[in-house]
A and B are shown apart, each in its own frame.
Chain A
Amino acid sequence: MAVVGASRQEGSVGNRILTNIIESGFNGSIYPINPKADELCGLKCYRSILEVEEPVDLAVIAVPAAIVPEVARQAGEKGVKGLVVISAGFREMGQEGAKLEKDLLDICRKYGMRMVGPNCLGVINTSVPINTTFASSKALPGRIAFLSQSGALCSAILDWAPMEGIGFSVIVSLGNSADLNVIDFIEALKDDSGTHVIACYVEGINEGERFLKVAKETSRVKPIVIFKAGVTNFGIRAVSSHTGSMAGSAVAYETAFKEAGVISVNSVEELFDNAKAFAYQPIPRGRNVTIVTNAGGPGIVATDSCENFGLSLSWLSTETIEALRAILPLHASVINPVDVLGDATAERYLKVLQVVLKDHGVDAVVVILSPQAVTEPLKTAEAIIQAQRENPEKPVLAVFMGGEGVAEAVKLLKENRIPVYEFPEKAVKTLRNMAVYGEFISEHHEEEIPEFERDLTAVKRIIERARIENRTVLLSPETKAIMKAYGIMVPEGGFAQNLRQAITIANSIGYPVALKIVSPHIVHKTDIGGVALNIKSDYELENAYDAMMRNAATLMPQARVYGVEVQKMVPPGKEVIVGVHRDPQFGPLIMFGLGGIYVNLIKDVSFRLTPLSKRKAYDMIMETKAYTLLRGFRGEVPSDVESVVDVLLRVSRLIMDFWEIAELDINPLFVYEKGKNSLALDVKITLSFKR
């Protein structure tokens, strides 16, 4: 491997990289490249990569940005396969830098080289071993792969991890990700036997759909834990100016992570709380947790956390309870949480752990220790290690509360791969994530995406007309026609250009009818009196029509009125919403929720990414309170939930058929009694003609 920009000057990036590579124990050949030196760190130095006689596989580049493309070109000529470009001064610096980055990428493509960076800290692989970073701290070998879109965070973690006893298989500082990005590394690490968990710090993901696919496949093999930063309004602003990529909405990321089985965490601390547990502990088979504690208070805190995070306390079997009675003093609690009392010795801990871990109703154990008069922290740690070794199929997480008194014991636990936490909440939260992951891998995910009869041509025609007229917001008659083309029921009615036509339609569908103004320039129809309900006769229709035209002419004189929509009045149903928002990163995001005027207040909504399967559609309905309402609340007749599932599936099909549809809202969808279907009352569709 070549180090271009290697240097003698201590403290320089080029020097640091070269010494790191040498010190990492890399056993291949190292070729320092520097036109001003003959020898560096005892290695022969070359003026250019082209002068190296042997073949070169990898080049680490740390020269000023302006000459990086030329160095890359030489590497390409030399037949180098991979580049790690440390140099900064590319896209992050402005338009000239962006051009330079593009040139660099073009050179990589031309020669078939793959590149990490530019503007990154480098790459570490502890099994090769190799360390191409310029960080001053060394990584311990371990099972965690850490991918980071922040180089600075990488150096901080590198410095912090040894103290915590956390080791790594791979560390990649992704830099600008001009070529290789976080998805490429997740994909590659899937088959890396040294990596048991992939931990990522992510600010943005650019190929959302590919991420979803790769993450889904990888999650089946090993867990991925992601800390996505920049989710608040100001956070999004900060990410935007840092990465320059349109942040997908926080809810899109959340949904994507959930669907891909990714464990999503909210802090760097949590990222490693989880990573260290996933790296060394088995995945629990279920959500039943047993708490073993020598202190009442912390035991209650852990118990509350279990319920708060959706875990249950295991019901111990009669045999277990009997066995515990035999081990523990009379006044100890033998039901969960198991209180081994303040005077518990290491031996008592060991016996209790051995018993509870054998119980089939126990999926995981949290052991809590608080240093009290006769407590033996170090010996207890040994007991935990022993108990876990005897029962390697169940995860054991330790909570050793305290400071100096438990420091030695904590160190021992870490060395022996028992995740240990300062407080119960962190352990329980981690365990919850492990249980959710366990459920993800045990579920069967490949599901059929239902197909429907549909009139593609009709929809195409409507979209084409809007494109020609340069409209992005479709008119109500058009959205209704699209619903019909996809077999979604709408109230009877039609579009009229004048009063005469309106009367004809009203008579053919029968009174009472509703009248709505149709104009591309009037968005909030009700605000200008553009909606009239419950019209019962020709005479009332004429009055309503005149009033509507007058209102439009006075209140919005510049608006072009196309005509009116005449719609049959329908009986009220349960109001729900079905919406679609095309996320710039993850594609169509389908929303379901409770409708009506309080929708923005109550925010009872759930999301899924397309395509929807029948099961996904059911799941998203069942996640909401609206489901309770549809099922029949307090003796009400149940509503037609199947028809809502059907609408969701058809909307999913529609949105996948037409990339031009950027937003869609059915609000409200009236749901009637079971077997009586549902009706899309008002449908809004916004198009986007930019791919």
Chain B
Amino acid sequence: MDEGLKVGYFKPFSWSNVPYGNIRTDEDVLLMREVLDIQEDLRVISPVQLGYYYLEKLSAMDRDVIFETIEESYKKLAANKDLIVVEMVRDVFFGSSVSLSALEICKRLGLKVLMVSSVHTDAVIDVTVAEKNHISWMNVPFLGLVMDGVADADLDRIKRVYMPLLEKNGIKVWGIIPDKTEMRSPTALEIKELLNAEVLACEDKLGEVIVEKYLIGAMTPDAALKYFRASPRKAVITGGDRPDICLAALETDTSLLLLTGNIHPSPVVLNKAQERGVPVILVPYDTYTTVNMLQDIAGKIKYGDKKRIKLAKQLVEENVDWRGLLKFLQGA
């Protein structure tokens, strides 16, 4: 879009259905619609809705009808666009058993394949090469690979071992996007919303701080400081009847104080939290229930998450040769 191109987005199969208005759709679809400012109906952007047991639905439908629906939507979207980003589900093999794999859709719509993958073990490289071979064998044009979520610790191995291997197998790497905790860790606000918690201090800070780790404060006050110091940017889960634990947490790098059991803390604890700028939230559940509820929280970019969208753009800008990729795409 920055280059003056009209960019569209299409996701033939939508996944992880979430309710939106009166229909169910895919979080990625909502996100991309917002990012690219797409006006078309959600059902056009993502015509086929699937869930966990997707084969039951796909095998019951007529393959040709599915193909036609997809093609029709795609044509509608592509009509006035210079470029369409088509997102598939999981990998190139998804839907193979009902002859609706990503590659078959690519062939039908005349798409080119760019793989995006996190690379942290040897096996990922083997699978990537195998997928690439499969793509070539299917005669679908292949653009290359973008590595995503790469940890600092893996960089050396990637450069020394993986890059030469990928190159040897004809896989062009367009970029290596580093792993950023801000991208995957939830903000205190997300936790507050998930738990529907009452805010007792620093409401204004909730959206600013991210939570990388959860620690349960049930130890003696002497031991607490040692544990808390070892974990920066954490949420400390404890009861309002443990002011000693709360103060120890406030003494260290704590993003959120999550109090359980509906016990209000002493006012002096809240004063200290306010002073230190650490949000405090309160839930009626016990610690066990609270922790179980937190299992579901995965820091994923959601639509409306301006901060993460901005950060994602910045990461791509800094780490991916997207201009080169665009040129390659236009030339090919």
* A and B are interacting partners: yes
User: Which residues of A are interface residues toward B (Cβ below 8 A)?
Assistant: 91-95, 97-98, 233, 236-237, 240-247, 249-251, 469-473, 497-498, 519, 523, 553, 560-562, 581, 584, 662-663, 686-690
Given known pairs A236-B244, A686-B226, A686-B230, the reply for A97 and B252 (CB within 8 Å) is no
Question: Is B153's CB under 8 angstroms from A95's CB?
Answer: no
Tell me which of A95, A245, A553 contacts B267 (CB under 8 A): A95
Please state if A473 and B268 are interface contacts (CB–CB under 8 Å).
no
Across the interface, do B270 and A94 meet the contact criterion of CB distance under 8 Å?
A: yes
The answer to whether A95 and B274 touch across the interface, beta carbons within 8 angstroms, is: yes
Q: How far is the CA of A250 from the CA of B220 in the complex (A)?
A: 12
Say whether B268 contacts A243, CB under 8 Å.
yes
Are B243 and A686 neighbours in the complex by a CB distance under 8 Å? no
Answer whether residue B38 sits at the interface, using C-beta atoms and an 8 A cutoff: no
A662 and B229 in contact, given A91-B271, A98-B274, A233-B221 (Cβ under 8 angstroms): yes
Q: Which residues of A contact B226 (CB under 8 A)?
A: 581, 663, 686
- Does B233 sit at the interface, judged by CB under 8 A? yes
Residue of A nearest to B200 (CB): A95
Assuming A470-B232, A560-B151, is B269 touching A246 (CB within 8 A)? no
B57-98 at interface with A (beta carbon < 8 Å): none
A584 pairs with B225, CB closer than 8 A: yes
Q: Which chain A residues lie closer than 8 Å to B222 at the CB level? A: 249-251
Known A236-B244, A245-B247, A688-B253; judge A94-B267 contact (CB<8 A): yes
* A312 CB, nearest partner CB in chain B, Å: 35
Q: Are A241 and B221 in contact (CB under 8 A)?
A: no
The answer to whether A237 touches B221, judged by C-beta atoms less than 8 angstroms apart, is: yes
A560–B271 CB distance below 8 A: no
Lowest 7 A-B CB distances belong to which pairs? Answer: A244-B268, A241-B266, A94-B267, A240-B243, A241-B243, A98-B271, A246-B247
Knowing A91-B271, A95-B267, A663-B226 are in contact, say whether A236-B221 is a contact too (CB < 8 A): yes
Q: How far is A689 from B231 in the complex, measured between Cα atoms in Å?
A: 11
Q: Is the CB of B153 within 8 A of A91?
A: no
Task: Tell me if B172 counts as interface (CB < 8 A to partner A).
Answer: no
Which residues of B (271-292) have their CB < 8 Å from a CB of A? 271-272, 274-275
Chain B nearest CB, measured from A232 CB (Å): 10
Enumerate chain A residues within 8 angstroms of B274, measured Cβ to Cβ.
Answer: 95, 98
B153 (CB) vs chain A CBs: closest residue? A560
Q: Which residues of A contact B152 (CB under 8 A)?
A: 469, 560
Q: Which of B153, B266, B270, B271 contacts A240 (CB 8 A)?
A: B266
Task: Tell which of A92, A469, A472 touches B230, judged by Cβ atoms closer than 8 Å.
Answer: A472
Residues of A contacting B201 in the complex (Cβ-Cβ under 8 angstroms): 95
Q: Is B41 part of the contact surface with A, judged by Cβ < 8 Å?
A: no
What residues on A are CB-neighbors of B181 within 8 Å? Answer: 470
Q: A92-B267, A663-B229 are known contacts. Are A244 and B247 too (CB-CB below 8 A)?
A: yes
Complex alpha-carbon distance, A519 and B153, angstroms? 9
Classify chain B: how many residues form its interface, as a range: 35 or more
Q: Which of B229, B247, B248, B272 touches A472 (beta carbons < 8 Å)? A: B229
CA distance A246 to B247 in the complex (A): 5
Assembled-state Cα–Cα distance A196/B331 (Å): 93
Q: Pick the contact of A244 from B157, B253, B266 — CB < 8 Å?
A: B266
List the B residue with the shortest CB-CB distance to A250: B222
Within 8 A of A (CB), among B222-274: 222, 225-226, 229-233, 241-244, 246-248, 250-253, 265-272, 274
CA distance A243 to B244 in the complex (A): 11
Identify 22 residue pairs between A and B in the complex whose beta-carbon atoms are under 8 Å apart, listed by A's number.
A91-B271, A98-B275, A233-B220, A237-B221, A237-B241, A237-B243, A240-B246, A241-B268, A244-B247, A244-B268, A245-B272, A247-B244, A249-B221, A470-B232, A472-B231, A497-B156, A584-B225, A663-B226, A663-B230, A687-B229, A689-B253, A690-B251
Which residues on the B side are within 8 Å of A94 (C-beta)?
267, 270-271
- B contact residues around A240 at 8 Å (CB): 221, 243-244, 246-247, 266, 268-269
Task: Judge whether A472 and B253 touch: CB under 8 Å.
Answer: yes
Contact between B229 and A688, CB atoms less than 8 A apart: yes
A469 to B233, CA, bound (A): 13
Residues of chain A with a CB closer than 8 A to B40's CB? none
Given contacts A240-B243, A244-B243, 13 further A-B contacts (CB under 8 A): A92-B267, A236-B244, A241-B265, A244-B247, A247-B221, A249-B222, A560-B152, A561-B153, A562-B153, A581-B226, A663-B229, A686-B229, A688-B229
| Nearest CB of chain B from residue A551's CB, rounded to whole Å | 15
Check if B154 is an interface residue, CB within 8 A of chain A.
yes
Min CB distance, A99 to chain B, in Å?
A: 9
Residues of B137-158 contacting chain A, CB below 8 A: 151-154, 156-157
Instruction: Check B271 against A244 for contact (C-beta < 8 Å).
Output: yes
A91 and B253 contact, Cβ closer than 8 Å, known pairs A240-B247, A472-B230: no
List, in ascending order, chain B residues with CB within 8 A of A689's CB.
232, 253
In angstroms, Cα B151 to Cα A240, docked, is 40
Tell me the chain B residues, 108-159 only, with Cβ under 8 Å from chain A.
121, 151-154, 156-157
- A244 x B272 contact (CB < 8 A): yes
Closest chain A CB from B224 CB (angstroms): 10
Q: Does A473 contact B230, Cβ atoms closer than 8 Å?
A: yes
Assuming the A-B contacts A91-B271, A94-B271, are A690 and B151 also in contact, with contact meaning beta carbons closer than 8 angstroms in the complex?
A: no
Q: How far is the CA of A94 from the CA of B223 in the complex (A)?
A: 28
CB distance from A522 to the nearest CB of B (A): 12
A208 nearest CB across to chain B (Å): 13
In the complex the two chains form, is B233's CB within 8 Å of A470's CB?
Answer: yes
In the complex, are the beta carbons of A472 and B232 less than 8 A apart?
Answer: yes
A246 to B153, CA, bound (A): 37
Shortest distance from the beta carbon of A256 to any chain B beta carbon, whole Å: 15
Closest to A93 in B: B267
CB of B267, distance to nearest CB on chain A (Å): 4
Partner of A584, one of B220, B242, B251, B265: B251
Bound form: Cα–Cα A245–B243 in Å: 10
Q: Quote the shortest CB–CB distance from B147 to chain A (angstroms).
A: 15
Closest to A468 in B: B152
For residue B225, which residues in chain A have a CB less than 8 angstroms away from its CB?
581, 584
User: Cα distance A509–B90 when bound, in Å?
Assistant: 48
- Give the distance to chain B from A665, nearest Cβ to Cβ, in Å: 10
Residues of A within 8 A of B121 (CB): 553
Query: Which residue of the partner chain A has the closest CB to B265?
Result: A241
What is the CA–CA distance of A62 and B190 in the complex, to the nearest angstrom? 46
CA of A663 to CA of B231, assembled, Å:
13
Q: 0/1 per residue, B157-175, Cβ < 8 Å to A?
A: 1000000000000000000
A95→B271 contact, CB < 8 A: yes
Q: A104 to chain B: closest CB distance in Å?
A: 14
Q: Which residues of A contact B231 (CB under 8 A)?
A: 472
Residues of B within 8 A of A241 (CB): 243, 265-266, 268-269
CB distance from B191 to the nearest CB of A (A): 19
**A690/B253 contact (C-beta < 8 A), A91-B271, A95-B270, A95-B274 known:** yes
Given A233-B221, A581-B226; A242-B253 close (CB under 8 Å): no
Shortest CB-to-CB span from B223 to chain A, Å, is: 10
Give every chain A residue within 8 A of B267 (Cβ-Cβ): 91-95, 97-98, 244
Q: Complex Cα distance A215/B121, Å? A: 60
CA–CA, A523 to B233, complex, Å?
18
Give Cα A376–Cα B232 distance, bound, in whole angstroms.
Answer: 71
Closest-CB distance, A686 to chain B (whole angstroms): 5
In the bound assembly, the distance between CA atoms of A460 and B265 in angstroms comes to 39
A91-B268, A240-B243 are contacts. A246–B229 as well, Cβ < 8 Å? Answer: no
- Least Cβ distance of A340 to chain B in Å? 50
- Residues of A near B220 (CB, < 8 A) are 233
Which residues of the partner chain A approach B269 to less than 8 Å between Cβ atoms? 240-241, 244
Residues of A within 8 A of B272 (CB): 244-245
Q: How far is the CA of A595 from the CA of B157 in the complex (A)?
A: 39
Chain B residues near A584 (CB, 8 Å)?
225, 251
Alpha-carbon separation in the docked complex, A663 to B225 (Å): 10
CB–CB B248/A246 < 8 A: yes
- How far apart are the CA atoms of A497 and B153 in the complex, in Å? 9
Name the residue of chain B whose CB is nearest to the CB of A581: B226
